[in-house]
Amino acid sequence: MRQRQSIRIPWRFGTATSAALLVALLVAVAAAPASADRIDGTARTAHTVHAYEKARARVDRLKDERAPAERVRSAEDRRKTLRDRLWDELRRSQRALYDPVAVDRSGRAGRCPRGKSPKKKGSWQTPVANYWLTAGFAAGGDRWRHRHTGQDFAVNSGTPVRSVGPGTVWATTCGDGFGNQVLVRHRDGYFTQYAHLSRIDVRKGQRVTAGRRLGLSGATGNVTGPHLHFEVRITPYLGSAVPPLPWLARHGVRVR
Ligand SMILES: [Zn+2]
């Protein structure tokens, strides 16, 4: 699904072009007062996502270098502060938009189709076994306005969708543009999202191992055909996605 939000200041353009765009933007915002808050908030959110990823990379680097504990701790504090800020901003904005992840995490109101998942032992893996990659993560630039927030895996409906790593089910929801979806929280604090499922096989709060079946792929929500939409997020909320394939690579999973 594509994000329904936002603008980004094109830093790479020349000063004259940027000034002209800024004027055009101010005119546009003035002409649409009802949406001004959202535009403003989302531009700030995109900046915080970027800052968080830099802070997290710095923590990893300091740990690798065996830096003094005090420096690691202060870098950790910065990372956590940024995550808390992002979490607060997005929870507020997503509640206002009735995002089910922010409103009803157990999907009760949406009556999601349910199944059961057998226990399984496994190691970090791709969310589906046989796939071809379609739409990838669009980091921004001129596609920002309608940017793609995850990685699509084209699979037939009914394909088992598995948790990429160990974690806890944060939410199972249905009924919005993502259709039936599962969100899993992992130990490194990131969340993975599995959307457009035809059936959900886990419950909110359930612990899952790597490879545990979360549900079956499908074509629910805002889609043109069956596929798995997979995201990696800093918070449970839309708007905090990061490039999913580098994140999987950090866990030893190659996607090709
Ligand atoms: Zn997608």
Task: Assign residue 148 the CATH number of its domain.
Answer: 2.70.70.10
Which pLDDT belongs to residue 25? 46
Residues 193 and 209 reside in one and the same domain: yes
- Determine the distance separating the centroid of ligand 1 and the alpha carbon of 232, expressed in angstroms: 12
Q: Does residue 181 sit within a domain?
A: yes
CA distances from 95 to 164, 169, 221 (A): 27, 20, 19
What is residue 27's DSSP assignment? H
Strands of 108-248 (E only): list them: 132-133, 151-154, 160-162, 167-176, 179-186, 191-197, 199-200, 207-208, 213-216, 228-233, 241-242
Q: Which of 85, 100, 115 is the last residue of a domain?
A: 100
Residues 144 and 81 reside in one and the same domain: no
Q: Does residue 28 sit within a domain?
A: yes
Which pLDDT belongs to residue 247? 97
Residues 115 and 220 reside in one and the same domain: yes
CA distances from 156 to 58, 175, 193, 198 (A): 40, 21, 18, 11
Where in the sequence is the domain holding 84, given as residue range(s)? 15-100
Q: Contact, 7 vs 144, CB < 8 A?
A: yes
Residues 153 and 173 reside in one and the same domain: yes
Prediction pTM value: 0.82
Domain count, the chain: 2
Which pLDDT belongs to residue 15? 53
Residues 171 and 236 reside in one and the same domain: yes
Cα 72 to its chain centre, rounded Å, is 26
Q: Which of 73, 100, 127 is the last residue of a domain?
A: 100
- Residue 144 predicted with pLDDT over 60: no
Indicate the range of 30-34, 127-131, 173-177 predicted with least confidence. Answer: 30-34
Residues 166 and 236 reside in one and the same domain: yes
What are the start-end ranges of the H helices in 32-68?
A: 36-64
- Residue 5 predicted with pLDDT over 60: no
Residue 195: phi and psi, rounded to 5, are: -120, 165
- Residue 135 predicted with pLDDT over 80: yes
Residues 54 and 162 reside in one and the same domain: no
- Determine the distance separating the centroid of ligand 1 and the alpha carbon of 111, expressed in angstroms: 23
- Determine the distance separating the centroid of ligand 1 and the alpha carbon of 62, expressed in angstroms: 34
Q: Does residue 5 sit within a domain?
A: no
- Determine the distance separating the centroid of ligand 1 and the alpha carbon of 185, expressed in angstroms: 19
* Structure confidence by residue, pLDDT tens digits, 91-121: 999 999 999 999 999 988 888 999 999 998 8
Q: Does residue 2 sit within a domain?
A: no
Q: Which of 105, 120, 124 is nearest to 203 (CA)?
A: 105
Residues 31 and 81 reside in one and the same domain: yes
